[in-house]
Amino acid sequence: MTRLHLFDLDGTLMRGSAAAVEISRQLGVSAEIAELERDFLLRGMAPDEFAVRARELWAELTEDHVAAAFAGAPWLSGIEEVWADIRSRGEYCAVISLSPDFFVQRLLAWGAHAAHGSRWPAVPFLEPVERAGILNASAKVRIADRLCEEFGLIRSDCVAYGDSMSDAEIFASVPLSVAVNADHHVSDLAVLAYRGGDLREPYEWVQSRR
């Protein structure tokens, strides 16, 4: 049986942090992005508004900042090993994240078949953020459906890994869902709730569910 493994990034592949947090740390605007994160998580700020505000904070962003943020992020152990095993089985793995595409797409080098993030202008920024290109929770399901079509699969062939309410819709649309270091809101929606620092552990459980 062929599967498509769908991974969130912030809080899932990256434990206790997010692309925006790591980028902001490089630019010395951690306090400012923390306030935006609170507005997003607790006060209902829309993803496109978050992106527009973050773009203002990151006006001086360079590729060197992005590379340093990626290299220094608190990634789970075993990501590349898991994705290599997925490929060896003839299965597929993809990342779908609300974070900027210029950060998310770096995971292609680790073995993901696809990496989809919100569409941002190229770094260094010369253009504004286009709100229409910023993903939301529903977009994750639409992208998953497109990937299924591309790989010749259907939703029942998918496994979703996530940590937050932005993953709730995709959790509801697939038969196997794994909450990774998530709070109880999402853990209660998932088939499996995992806490830890090694992606190989929940992946082994998924492989046992055949």
The strand order across the sheet containing 4-7 reads 114-118, 92-100, 4-7, 158-162, 176-180, 192-194
Give, in order, the Cα–Cα distances in Å from 44 to each of 50, 171, 209: 10, 20, 36
Mean pLDDT of 45-55: 96
Model pLDDT, residue 187: 87
What's the token pair of residue 10? 């912030």
Dist. CA 93–CA 11, nearest whole Å: 18
pTM score, whole prediction: 0.96
Contacts of residue 158, defined as CB under 8 A and 6 or more positions apart, other chains included, come to 3, 4, 5, 6, 144, 148, 173, 174, 175, 176
Among 77-91, 98-112, 117-131, 185-199, the least confident range = 185-199
Q: Nearest CA to 98 among 138, 39, 58? A: 138
Res. 185: pLDDT tops 90: no
Confidence of residue 183 (pLDDT cuts 50, 70, 90): confident
Q: What is the mean pLDDT of residues 107-134?
A: 97
Residues 134-176 pLDDT 10s: 999 999 999 999 999 999 999 999 999 999 999 999 999 999 9
Q: Per-residue pLDDT for 86 more than 90?
A: yes
Place of tokens 């939301």: 136
| Partners of residue 96 on adjacent β-strands | 116
Asked if pLDDT for residue 210 goes beyond 80, the answer is no
Instruction: Tell me phi and psi for residue 147, to 5 degrees.
Output: -65, -40
